[in-house]
């Protein structure tokens, strides 16, 4: 018997409809993957773990409320960059091409993030920075720009470092001791601009390599030039070596630092003088907490056996920045209504308000401003008994 064209067409439509119906639940059950490239080994592994935990606590909250886009759960996929830009790019490529992540979170190191961001802009995959502070990460000149950040920004921190030093130590002639990489360069530019705006002339600028173990020659030159305060920019290991070198010299000088020392085993490596370093933070779990802070502390204690209280949530900025960044990213995905990169990018601009850990965010991102944390969102801290505590709160 010959079937009519109408009958064939109807059968094809029915088959297509059944296929679509079968595919829809599968899509609804498919997780939305969020990538993380950060240092998970080495001296800064503690900070990489803090970022992981902040993201995971936020993901747990989002998934407990039903996920995103009609019930899709979030899934965190991590890769270790070993603080190496080349390895960071390889890891990012794997997350984008093989894992098909919707967003890539960058980790600790400005050089790594600076290497990854061009790939993200090329592939139109949003990049979210929860730690690295290099100004050029978000101010990268790309149009459209896929790099966003919930963290410190060098040029803003640098203004704060000078203001804090002048207020706390009556600084008049600071010396700069900086890591010799793009992060150090970013801060050299920012600190010089901040000082020029205030009519301050530095005693000098000295650089060190990330693997240096003796900074006595550089510090001796700064001392001879009359430095009354040191502005320090470096991650855990070299920052500790600056402090150890000062101890060998017997030079007691105030140290105002970027937040590198907070990223790992600083007190163990720096010794007794670690407490003399004052450094910037975006958040502290010590002191009176907001309801969000209380909720996150409770979740951290419940999820991680080694967390008994605020003193065990360290470094706090890694947890806080990543927690807020993950929630803001989820809001962007929800506003986008899809996991397409350019839709999510525009979704960030649609976020109206979010009550986070660091602050209540109101329209945190615009096409012109991709940094959600601003100058009045910083706090100053120091190590007291191996705990990161706001200065004056001990």
> Cβ neighbours of residue 257 under 8 Å, at least 6 residues apart?
161, 231, 232, 233, 239, 277, 278, 279, 280
For 215, the token pair is: 């900074």
* Residue keyed to tokens 């096409």: 367
Query: In terms of pLDDT, which residue wins out, 211 or 303?
Result: 303
Give pLDDT tens digits for 148-157: 999 999 999 9
In CATH, what class is 31-152+287-374? Answer: alpha beta
When mean pLDDT is compared across 12-16, 60-64, 234-238, 318-322, the lowest value belongs to 12-16
Q: What is the overall mean pLDDT for the chain?
A: 91
> Would you say the CATH fold of 155-281 matches that of 31-152+287-374?
yes
Q: What is the mean pLDDT of residues 297-320?
A: 93
What is 155-281's CATH topology? Rossmann fold (3.40.50)
What would the mean pLDDT of 40-64 be, rounded to a whole number? 94
Q: Give CA–CA dist 300/43, Å, rounded.
A: 23
Residue 393: per-residue pLDDT: 56
pLDDT digits (tens, 9 = 90+) for 63-97: 999 999 999 999 999 999 999 999 999 999 999 99
Q: Is pLDDT at 21 greater than 60 in this prediction?
A: no
Average pLDDT over residues 31-37: 98
Q: Where are the chain's structural domains?
A: 31-152+287-374, 155-281
10 pLDDT above the threshold of 80: no
For residue 13, what pLDDT band results from cuts at 50, 70 and 90?
Answer: very low
Cα-based distances in Å from 74 to 16, 57, 326: 29, 11, 10
Report, as an integer, the average pLDDT of 11-16.
Answer: 46
Give pairs for 308-312: CB < 8 Å, separation 24+.
Answer: 310/285, 310/286, 311/286, 311/387
Q: Which two tokens stand for residue 156?
A: 């803003």
């Amino acid at each position: 018997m010959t079937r009519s064209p109408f009958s064939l067409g109807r059968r094809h439509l029915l088959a297509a409809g059944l296929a679509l119906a079968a595919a829809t639940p599968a899509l609804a059950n498919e997780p939305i993957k969020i990538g993380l490239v950060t240092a998970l080994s080495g001296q800064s592994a503690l900070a990489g773990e803090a970022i992981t935990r902040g993201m995971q606590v936020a993901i747990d909250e989002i998934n407990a409320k039903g996920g995103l886009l009609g019930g899709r759960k979030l899934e965190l996929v991590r890769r270790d960059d070993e603080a190496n830009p080349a390895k960071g790019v390889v890891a990012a490529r794997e997350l984008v091409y093989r894992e098909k992540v919707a967003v890539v979170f960058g980790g600790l190191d400005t050089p790594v993030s600076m290497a990854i961001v061009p790939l993200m802009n090329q592939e139109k995959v949003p990049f979210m920075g929860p730690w690295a502070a290099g100004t050029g990460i978000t101010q990268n000149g790309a149009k459209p720009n896929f790099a966003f950040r919930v963290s410190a920004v060098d040029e803003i921190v640098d203004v704060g470092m000078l203001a804090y030093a002048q207020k706390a130590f009556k600084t008049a002639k600071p010396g700069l001791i900086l890591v010799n990489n793009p992060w150090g360069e970013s801060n050299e530019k920012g600190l010089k601009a901040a000082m020029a705006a205030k009519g301050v002339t530095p005693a000098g600028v000295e650089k060190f390599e990330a693997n240096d173990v003796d900074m006595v020659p550089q510090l001796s030159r700064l001392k001879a030039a009359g430095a009354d305060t040191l502005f320090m920019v470096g991650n855990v290991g070299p920052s500790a070596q600056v402090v150890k070198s000062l101890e060998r010299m017997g030079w007691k000088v105030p140290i105002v630092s970027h937040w590198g020392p907070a990223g790992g085993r600083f007190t163990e490596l720096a010794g007794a003088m670690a407490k003399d370093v004052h450094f910037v933070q975006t958040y502290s779990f010590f002191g009176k907490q907001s309801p969000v802070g209380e909720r996150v502390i409770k979740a951290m204690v419940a999820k991680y056996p080694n967390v008994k209280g605020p003193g065990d949530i360290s470094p706090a900025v890694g947890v806080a920045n990543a927690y807020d960044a993950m929630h803001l990213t989820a809001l962007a995905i929800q506003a986008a209504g899809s996991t397409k990169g350019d839709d999510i990018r525009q979704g960030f601009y649609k976020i109206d308000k979010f009550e986070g850990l660091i602050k209540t965010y109101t329209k945190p991102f615009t096409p012109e401003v991709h940094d959600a944390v601003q100058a009045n969102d910083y706090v100053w801290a120091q190590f007291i008994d191996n705990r990161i505590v706001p200065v004056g709160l001990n």
